Amino acid sequence: MAAVDRFSFLFTEISKTITAYTEAFAIIGTLYTAKKTLNTALQLYDVVKVHLVARGQQNLVTRFGPWAVVTGSTDGIGKAYAQELARAGVNIILISRSQDKLRKTARELETTFHVETLTIKADFSKGSEIYESISSQLQGKDIGILVNNVGVYDYPQYFVDVPLEKLWQLININIGAATAMSRIVLPQMIEKRKGAIVNITANTALHPTPQIAVYAATKTYLDFLSRAIQYECKDKGITVQSLMPSYVATRMTQFTDASPSVLIPSASVYARHAVSTLGISSRTTGYFPHTVQFWVSSMLPEWLWMWGSSRLNSAIRRKTQLTMQLREARLREKLPQL
């Protein structure tokens, strides 16, 4: 009897403990579910606000200022973004490396949108030596918007196979330019207590990406830079936006052979959507279908992203290398005939 008594006593004690644990787990579960539900609701609210409600409601010149600087503005997203700003009446300062393309783009903007332009020829791959000249050419311009768009992407390769010189070019163009340009333009924005900086990052900023390790890392740098400067400037009337597109059909993504679609918009469709989010969101893809992709990507565990992107990049690398070998072979065949 005594043994049974002891057993029932033990059972009662264990039951009490289990009930206490169950209740604790139930509370943790409820809090976790509530947090997840609140996060999802806030994200949905943000999507509706950024992609639907806020579109086309603001005067960019009044809100930010009469001039915008766009780096890498003679092609792709940069050119399309400059066109959208010009459509809104903003005068454009174009910075790129080809004088002919600069002149042509500036003329198009002036005749189509009746805005003023200024062109600055600069090669961002050169590093720190170019900024004194850029800074002096920007003197006297009331700059309200800086779009740090310039960026280059080499085809996927293993890190050790990329020549060191190419790595420095990637660093100078993809992160050196945005860092230096922001440092040049921000003080006058702070003085006026208005302005916007847009850093074009990419959804590759979300996870480390094998075979485009440096490109992806430069985009993470830009995302972190944007968020930190946004925090520093939030009480100074300045907006710093991290703009994180997925694929956009430009010269950079020619290797995909994809024509523009809903998931891979043309640069002009992308820019129209992205500009409408300026001043509304400090971190966005700028384009609703990309926001859906972003959500999916951000939920993937890192190992799965690494594995998937590694396989995809291996396929792109092999295809690109084959195309390059074929091109070289054709050139060699032609050479003796010349």
Ligand X SMILES: NC(=O)c1ccc[n+]([C@@H]2O[C@H](COP(=O)([O-])OP(=O)(O)OC[C@H]3O[C@@H](n4cnc5c(N)ncnc54)[C@H](OP(=O)(O)O)[C@@H]3O)[C@@H](O)[C@H]2O)c1
Which residues are catalytic, by number? 215
CB atoms within 10 A of CB 110: 15
Contact 237, 52 (CB under 8 A): no
Residues in the chain, overall count: 338
Contact 208, 216 (CB under 8 A): yes
Q: Which of 50, 51, 69, 72 binds ligand X (CB under 6 A)?
A: 72
Residues 214-243 that bind ligand X (CB under 6 A): none
Q: Which of 83, 84, 90, 96 binds ligand X (CB under 6 A)?
A: 96
Nearby residues of 90 by Cβ (< 8 Å), 6 or more positions away: 60, 61, 64, 66, 67, 68, 115, 144, 145
Nearest to 146 by CA among 247, 206, 225, 54: 225
C-alpha pair distances (Å), 307 with each of 146, 202, 219, 284, 328: 36, 19, 20, 25, 31
- Pick the stretch among 19-27, 122-130, 233-241, 275-283 that binds ligand X (CB under 6 A): 122-130
Q: Kindly state the DSSP code that residue 53 receives in the 8-state scheme.
A: I
Distance CA 229, CA 197 (A): 10
When asked if residue 103 is in the footprint of ligand X (CB under 6 A), the reply is no
When asked if residue 213 is in the footprint of ligand X (CB under 6 A), the reply is no
Of 72 and 195, the one with the shorter C-beta distance to ligand X is: 72
For CA atoms 107, 83, 147, 248, give the dihedral sign: negative
Residue type, 193: R
- The bridge status of strand 91-96 relative to strand 195-200 is unpaired
Of 104 and 234, the one with the shorter C-beta distance to ligand X is: 104
Nearest to 68 by CA among 89, 97, 96: 89
CB of 143 to ligand X, least distance (A): 18
Angle at Cα 173 formed by Cα 168 and Cα 178, nearest 5°? 130
Of 78 and 210, the one with the shorter C-beta distance to ligand X is: 78
- Pick the stretch among 18-26, 32-40, 151-159, 188-196 that binds ligand X (CB under 6 A): 151-159
User: Quick check: helix, strand or coil at residue 197?
Assistant: strand
CB of 262 to ligand X, least distance (A): 14
- Pick the stretch among 39-47, 52-60, 93-101, 281-289 that binds ligand X (CB under 6 A): 93-101
Residues 319-338 that bind ligand X (CB under 6 A): none
Structure tokens at 243: 């703009």
CB of 265 to ligand X, least distance (A): 9
Residue 116 exposed, middle or buried by CB count within 10 Å (0-12, 13-18, 19+):
middle
When asked if residue 108 is in the footprint of ligand X (CB under 6 A), the reply is no
CB of 260 to ligand X, least distance (A): 11
Of 151 and 210, the one with the shorter C-beta distance to ligand X is: 151
Residues 167-186 that bind ligand X (CB under 6 A): 173
Residues 251-310 that bind ligand X (CB under 6 A): 251-253, 267
CB of 27 to ligand X, least distance (A): 43
CB of 164 to ligand X, least distance (A): 17
Q: Which of 68, 77, 146, 147 binds ligand X (CB under 6 A)?
A: 77
Q: Which of 65, 144, 151, 210 binds ligand X (CB under 6 A)?
A: 151
CB of 73 to ligand X, least distance (A): 6
Q: Which of 74, 91, 119, 309 binds ligand X (CB under 6 A)?
A: 74
- Footprint on this chain of ligand X (rule: CB under 6 A): 72-78, 96-98, 101, 123-125, 149-153, 173, 200, 202, 245, 247-248, 250-253, 267
